Amino acid sequence: MKIICIGRNYTKHIEELHSERPNEPVIFMKPDSAVLLKQHPFVIPEFSEDIHHEIELIVKINKVGKYIEPKFAHKYYDEISVGIDFTARDLQQKLKDKGLPWEKAKAFDGSAVVGDFLSKSHFNSVENLTFELTNNSKTIQKGNTSLMLWKVDEIIAYVSEYFTLKIGDIIFTGTPEGVAAVKPNDVLEGFLEGHKLFRIQVK
């Protein structure tokens, strides 16, 4: 199983990080060892002083695919959820400044929170879903998939030009604005259209 992540997919998030608006999707990956085990706390790693939360819509691939056309992409996933792409922002900035790959800042153990999946048939459209991250019951990040620069089906098509998608692969589709540091004792909960899909304690 692999995790493919899209960066810079929401305009206001691009602006808050003063990043360049991309002409095509920004892709990076996390290994399966990045998945935070169910019921486990997220332990802030020692190599970073600035671990940011990034709540994202995630989709699970249900069929092997390569060179998928956008009009057929909807057939390659049935289940969706929300997750967190934890990012060591201080380390990522150092790597970006040197033009180096981001993996140490993005793909470390526990950096991928994967919520419980729901059938996409529960919802009218994947392209108009509100999702939210709370900390101790207070909203800290909120987005809507209608604001994505690249829609889920376009992402699947684009990614599959480079990487064969396999059953169980997960795609993180990018974070909206509002990323910020987490700290010990935070309790992070992720919601998709009001359904609570994960609860994580930070240590």
Q: How far is the CB of 28 from Mg ion (least distance, A)?
A: 9
Indicate the residue among 65 and 174 with the shorter CB distance to Mg ion: 174
Q: Is residue 113 involved in binding Mg ion (CB under 5 A)?
A: no
Q: Is residue 85 involved in binding Mg ion (CB under 5 A)?
A: yes
Sequence length of the chain is: 203
Q: What is the spatial distance between Cα 127 and Cα 154, in angstroms, rounded to a whole number?
A: 11
DSSP letter string over 62-116?
Answer: -S-BSS--GGGGGGGEEEEEEEEE-EEHHHHHHHHHTT---HHHHSSTT-EEEPP
Indicate the residue among 81 and 175 with the shorter CB distance to Mg ion: 175
Q: How far is the CB of 183 from Mg ion (least distance, A)?
A: 19
Q: Is residue 106 involved in binding Mg ion (CB under 5 A)?
A: no
Indicate the residue among 85 and 186 with the shorter CB distance to Mg ion: 85
Q: Is residue 175 involved in binding Mg ion (CB under 5 A)?
A: yes
Cα 84 to Cα 44, 111, 202, distances in angstroms: 14, 7, 12
Q: What is the spatial distance between Cα 11 and Cα 145, in angstroms, rounded to a whole number?
A: 12
In this chain, which stretch among 59-67, 125-133, 170-178, 190-198 interacts with Mg ion, using CB under 5 A?
A: 170-178
Q: Which of residues 49-68 bind Mg ion (CB under 5 A)?
A: 54
Q: How far is the CB of 78 from Mg ion (least distance, A)?
A: 23
Q: How far is the CB of 99 from Mg ion (least distance, A)?
A: 19
Q: What is the spatial distance between Cα 78 and Cα 63, in angstroms, rounded to a whole number?
A: 10
Residues that bind Mg ion (CB under 5 A): 54, 85, 175
